């Protein structure tokens, strides 16, 4: 069954897979199945783990219906033209027993014939992917009118943001999508479909109230606090904390990437927090203003100058063009640096979209 995104141009993969036995075992314990895609990210362990840990279906949602979350993942992946994530979610729905005809009907028009609450959630996902934080206030009001409670809305915001993160993390390096696109048409997966469904259902779980072990002290601590009591909070705390601590890019470089993406998305609440963190790193306000306006400043080093320009291109993009742009970085960066750039820009895009809704407009 042909995927709606198979026409999207997709470059050859930028990085080589590097198996890591410990990370492979970690992914399999959480999902029940092998996750070969994380082998492309193993030089940066925080990113490889985040690709598993931030999936909503593995014990992170306490209030939002998982079926709505599944459809949100599908629609946001389609809006972002991520062939890999779209094929993965489509294969997941098929593996759970959804008929090919039903999957194709969803592809044709995901809001047709759906319950009003589901349609409202999908409209939110589309709005955040197409417009971003500037539409967050109106999008929140639309969810309230559809009957969503505040805790459900925060989980919708997380699901959309996590999908934005996953989409970019797999799109930028052009992780091969064709094996997933072909899976429902192959004999062995079709034969094993009941077993696949059993494994999926056994490992998907609802979240339980989970306190944070310690208060966050790094940028985006306020966002984490808004999810206090939810298992989303410790998952975000771990990913964000490990990202700031990772050694392949400097903290200032990462903050500049976040600042450029927050500015490009118009996320004022995120921009304020990142600006304060950059001031603590010794970057004054006039210099930051030059960076955000011109994507350059004399105070930037060579890598910072290269990456703030790339960060801006990850906000709205054509997949193949962004993949070619990322390929041009390979000769200027080490493999761990390149993969960390992919992770930081992807995470910044997700967090800025989520931050605008959860911290600014809810």
Encode pLDDT of 160-174 as tens digits. 999 999 999 999 999
Q: What is the band of 362 on the pLDDT scale with cuts at 50, 70, 90?
A: very low
pLDDT at 131: 83
Residue in this structure with the two tokens 């027993």, named with its chain if needed:
97
Whether the model clears a pTM of 0.75, i.e. scores above it, the answer is: yes
The 10s digit of each residue's pLDDT in 156-214 is 999 999 999 999 999 999 999 988 877 777 656 666 666 766 677 777 889 899 888 77
Judged against a pLDDT cut of 80, whether residue 142 lies above it is answered with yes
Between CA 21 and CA 196 the distance in angstroms is: 22
Between CA 319 and CA 241 the distance in angstroms is: 29
Least reliable range by pLDDT among 91-95, 162-166, 279-283: 91-95
Residue 210 pairs in a beta bridge with: 229
pLDDT at 24: 95
Q: What angle do CA 179, 183, 189 make, to 5 degrees?
A: 135
pLDDT at 268: 80
Residue 205: strand, helix, or coil: strand
- Structural domains of the chain, ranges and CATH numbers in brackets: 1-362 (1.20.1290.10)
The 10s digit of each residue's pLDDT in 20-54 is 999 999 999 999 888 999 999 999 999 999 999 99
pLDDT at 45: 98
Judged against a pLDDT cut of 50, whether residue 361 lies above it is answered with no
Average pLDDT of the chain to the nearest whole number:
88
């Amino acid at each position: 069954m042909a995927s709606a995104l198979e026409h999207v141009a997709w470059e050859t993969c930028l990085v080589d897979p590097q198996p890591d036995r410990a990370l492979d075992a970690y992914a399999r314990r959480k999902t029940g199945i092998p996750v070969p895609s994380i082998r492309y990210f193993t030089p940066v362990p925080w990113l490889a783990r985040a690709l598993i840990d931030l999936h909503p279906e593995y014990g992170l949602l306490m209030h939002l219906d998982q079926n709505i979350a599944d459809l949100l993942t599908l629609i946001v992946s389609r809006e972002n033209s991520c062939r890999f994530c779209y094929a993965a979610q489509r294969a997941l729905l098929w593996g759970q027993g959804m008929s090919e005809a039903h999957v194709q009907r969803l592809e044709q028009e995901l809001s047709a014939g759906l319950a009003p609450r589901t349609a409202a959630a999908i409209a939110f996902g589309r709005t955040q992917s197409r417009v971003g934080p500037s539409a967050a206030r109106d999008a929140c009001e639309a969810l309230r009118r559809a009957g969503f409670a505040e805790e459900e809305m925060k989980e919708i915001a997380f699901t959309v943001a996590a999908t934005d993160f996953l989409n970019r993390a797999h799109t930028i390096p052009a992780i091969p999508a064709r094996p997933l696109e072909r899976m429902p048409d192959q004999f062995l997966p079709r034969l094993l479909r009941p077993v696949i469904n059993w494994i999926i259902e056994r490992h998907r779980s609802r979240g339980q109230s989970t306190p944070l072990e310690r208060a966050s002290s790094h940028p985006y601590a306020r966002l984490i606090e808004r999810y206090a009591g939810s298992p989303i909070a410790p998952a975000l705390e771990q990913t964000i904390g490990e990202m700031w601590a990772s050694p392949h890019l400097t903290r200032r470089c990462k903050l500049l990437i976040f600042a450029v993406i927050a500015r490009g998305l118009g996320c004022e609440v995120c921009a304020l927090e990142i600006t304060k963190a950059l001031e603590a790193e010794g970057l004054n306000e006039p210099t930051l203003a030059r960076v955000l306006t011109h994507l350059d400043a004399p105070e930037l080093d060579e890598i910072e100058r290269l990456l703030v320009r790339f960060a801006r291109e990850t906000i709205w993009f054509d997949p193949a063009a962004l993949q070619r742009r990322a390929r041009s970085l390979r000769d200027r960066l080490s493999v761990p640096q390149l993969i960390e750039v992919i992770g930081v820009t992807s995470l910044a895009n997700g967090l800025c979209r989520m931050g605008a809704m959860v911290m600014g407009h809810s």
